Amino acid sequence: MSRILLVEDDPVTATILGRVLDQSGHEVEIAKNGLAAVEMLESESYGALITDIMMPRLGGEELCRMVRADERYRDLPIFVTTGVIDPEKLAWVDTLDAVEIHAKPIQFSSLIERIDQVTAD
Amino acid sequence: LVDSDEVVDRDVLLELLELGGRDAGFLARLVDAFVDRARTLAVNFRRAIDEGDRSCVEAVAHELRSSGAQLGALRLPRIARDLEAMAAEGNDSLRPSGERFLAEVNLVCAALAEQLGVIGSGHERVDLESGNEPNPAC
ipTM of the complex as predicted: 0.79
Closest-CA residue to A52 (of A70, A37, A74) = A37
What mean pLDDT is predicted for residues B41-68?
A: 94
B37 to A19, A51, A68, B53, B75: CA distances (angstroms): 20, 20, 32, 19, 19
Is B69 touching A (CB cutoff 8 A)?
A: yes
Q: Over 60: is that where the pLDDT of B127 sits?
A: no
The gap from C-alpha B93 to its chain's centroid, in whole angstroms, comes to 22
Are the beta carbons of A12 and B63 separated by less than 8 Å?
Answer: no
What is the spatial order of strands in the sheet that A48-51 belongs to? A27-31, A3-7, A48-51, A78-82, A99-103
The gap from C-alpha A6 to its chain's centroid, in whole angstroms, comes to 5
pTM over 0.90: no
Are the beta carbons of B20 and A19 separated by less than 8 Å?
Answer: yes
CB nearest B66 (choices: A10, A23, A56):
A10
Give the whole-angstrom CA distance, residue A51 versus residue A101: 10
Candidates A6, A12, A55, A109: best to mutate against B (most CBs of B within 10 A) is A12
Kindly indicate the confidence band of residue B125, based on its pLDDT and cuts at 50, 70 and 90.
very low
Give the whole-angstrom CA distance, residue B113 versus residue B71: 12
Hey, which residues does A48 pair with through a beta bridge?
Answer: A4
Give the whole-angstrom CA distance, residue A2 versus residue A25: 8
What mean pLDDT is predicted for residues A32-52?
A: 96
Q: Which pLDDT belongs to residue B118? A: 86
Kindly state the helix (H) or strand (E) to which residue A31 belongs, with its residue range.
strand A27-31
Is B66 touching A (CB cutoff 8 A)?
A: yes
Q: Which pLDDT belongs to residue B91? A: 86
Kindly indicate the confidence band of residue B138, based on its pLDDT and cuts at 50, 70 and 90.
low
Q: Which pLDDT belongs to residue B130? A: 47
Is B16 touching A (CB cutoff 8 A)?
A: yes
